[in-house]
Amino acid sequence: MATDFRSLIPTLSYRNQAFIGGKYVPAASGETFDCVSPIDGRVLTKVAACDLEDVNRAVAAARAVFEKGSWSACHPGKRKKVMLKFAELMQKHKDELALLETLDMGKPISTSAGGDIPGSIQAIQWYAEAADKVYDEIAPYRPDSVSLITREPIGVVAAVVPWNYPLLMTSWKLGPALATGNSVIIKPAEQSPLTALRIAELAMEAGLPEGVLQVLPGFGETAGQALGRHMDVDMIAFTGSTQVGKYFLRYAGESNMKHVSLETGGKSPNIVFADAGDLNHIAKTSADGVFFNAGQSCNAPTRILVQDTIKDEFIALIAKHAKPWAPSDPLDPNTTMGAVVDADQMNRVLGYIESGRSEGATVTAGGSQVRKDTGGAYIEPTVFSDVKNDMKIAQEEIFGPVVVAVTFRDEAEAVRLANDSIYGLQANLWTRDVSRAHKVARQLKAGTVVVNNVWGSDITNPFGGYKQSGIGRDKSLHAMDKYCQVKNTYIQL
Ligand code: NAD
């Protein structure tokens, strides 16, 4: 990698105040919280801890510009131009954004610089391009009438996002919400507020009118809940845990029945049939899918379902391919796995590892905290075998570098086990039998099914879950609909 990221650290200045009405401002209470790097436990900066009063100010600013119409009712071509400029400015500052992401949440710099930041820029660009290319409709109605089906921006959208891909999750929401003309308030996770705060001023520099974008750092129970319960927020676009997703449904029900879209957890099955072919390749791809981002991916293939006749060979191969994912310094360009997001998350993951042991599963690889001397939060890539699908480690989302392997006898049992989960975000299956691939894919209750791979994500494809993995879809043109009201206008001729 050409950029020497370590040498850039002294040049960084952290945006640590809320961004409301086009300006950085302290929280009304003056309260702050420590922004801690999981790389070494160091406090990077103190960030404004927003609460109800800040939410009120941000919503008022967002509403005022929405009603004025300078963004919500402008020519879509103007939105395209501003958003393309915004993406261009993100590109200009890509190294800084990548470094902020890595310092803030501990992922390897190669991942931030090679995946998260380019993906975020692409999302803004892609929806910018879509802004003036998506047409409304005329219904096939009576010949003496015209029935128009038009899309209008919903209004004030609050995007409450997690820490695992901070800027990417933000951009998946910001892109379609801005392209369709909404005012947006971003509430980044308290573990990772820095990139969302930084891009706010880039959006202004690109020409976004004041008030169209607010960023409110703060805690879930305070800032997040205040947005969820606000009577003048029209929509919550949420990515995070299933538990908090349910809170947002409750907040909406107890306030103004705002729209709620949810991208929540996952425990994605990865079914390996005995006829799948090159087991070494499958095991490597599967291990890469699990341990990428230290297992902190909602769609990670963390639940291997392997046919009993190949289980010993396959589990040994997974353990072999886990090894190159040993955690190391996130700022080293050769590092594959960095820290997990913070000490709390590390202890949660270690708790699951303990629970797997005590329920009788076997730790085939890893299983411990490492690099303790750094002061950071690091866990070895961990593989469990002898797992039953009803064990806690097979049912709950661990959200760390841990994969479990359950065995099955035949196709029917594979499908039953795959669907035996509260989640339905993604399912993966490996087979050389094309008919089996189609048959099984149809039976899997998941928003995304990937056959003979575990990677299937692209901005062009819709992403979201069945069951308790969520409501609605991010990405692709499908995402634009959820940021719009659909209006029907009949005109009698
Ligand atoms: P989380 O649910 O704890 O937090 C997500 C956001 O919700 C944060 O901004 C947080 O501050 C806020 N929040 C927390 N408690 C709240 C409350 N009581 N009221 C209002 N807001 C509250 O999730 P996390 O730990 O940050 O992220 C990990 C989760 O995100 C995992 O479950 C993962 O599967 C999920 N995720 C899902 C997708 C997807 O697309 N389906 C993508 C990425 C992550």
Q: Tens of pLDDT along 190-207? A: 999 999 999 999 999 999
Res 145: pLDDT: 98
| Domain extents in the chain | 5-264, 269-456
Calculate how far, in angstroms, residue 188's C-alpha sits from the geometric centre of ligand 1: 10
Res 453: pLDDT: 98
Res 190: pLDDT: 98
pLDDT-derived band at 2, boundaries 50, 70, 90 = confident
Residues with CB under 6 A from ligand 1: 160-164, 169, 187, 189-190, 219-221, 224-225, 228, 239-241, 244, 247, 263-266, 298, 397, 399, 425, 465, 469-470
Q: Mind listing the pLDDT tens digit for each residue in 174-187?
A: 999 999 999 999 99
Return the number of other C-beta atoms located less than 10 Å from residue 433's C-beta. 13
CA distance 88 to 267: 36
CA distance 57 to 116: 30
Is residue 358 over pLDDT 80?
Answer: yes
269-456 and 5-264 share a CATH fold = no
Mutational pocket test of ligand 1: of 33, 238, 241, 251, the residue with most ligand atoms within 8 Å of the beta carbon: 241
Calculate how far, in angstroms, residue 87's C-alpha sits from the geometric centre of ligand 1: 25
Ligand 1, atom 9, residue with closest C-alpha: 189
Q: Name the token pair of 393.
A: 């480690």
Q: Mind listing the pLDDT tens digit for each residue in 96-125?
A: 999 999 999 999 999 999 999 999 999 999
pTM > 0.95: yes
Calculate how far, in angstroms, residue 192's C-alpha sits from the geometric centre of ligand 1: 12
Res 381: pLDDT: 98
CA distance 154 to 305: 42
Res 299: pLDDT: 97
Q: What is the mean pLDDT of residues 467-476?
A: 98
Calculate how far, in angstroms, residue 320's C-alpha sits from the geometric centre of ligand 1: 32
pLDDT, averaged across the chain:
98
Catalytic sites, residue numbers: 263, 298
Ligand 1, atom 16, residue with closest C-alpha: 220
Centroid of chain to Cα 295: 13
Is residue 1 over pLDDT 90?
Answer: no
Q: To 10 degrees, the CA torsion angle through 241, 244, 248, 251?
A: 180
Q: For the chain, what percent of residues have pLDDT higher than 90? A: 99
pLDDT-derived band at 267, boundaries 50, 70, 90 = very high
Nearest atom (ligand 1) to Cα of 463: 40
CATH class, 269-456 region? alpha beta
Q: Mind listing the pLDDT tens digit for each residue in 303-328?
A: 999 999 999 999 999 999 999 999 99
Q: Mind listing the pLDDT tens digit for each residue in 337-346?
A: 999 999 999 9
CA distance 388 to 124: 42
Q: Mind listing the pLDDT tens digit for each residue in 137-168?
A: 999 999 999 999 999 999 999 999 999 999 99
Expressed in angstroms, the distance from the first to the final Cα of the chain is: 65
Res 408: pLDDT: 98
Q: Mind listing the pLDDT tens digit for each residue in 212-255?
A: 999 999 999 999 999 999 999 999 999 999 999 999 999 999 99
- How is domain 5-264 classified at the CATH fold level? Aldehyde Dehydrogenase; Chain A, domain 1 (3.40.605)
Return the number of other C-beta atoms located less than 10 Å from residue 202's C-beta. 19
pLDDT-derived band at 457, boundaries 50, 70, 90 = confident
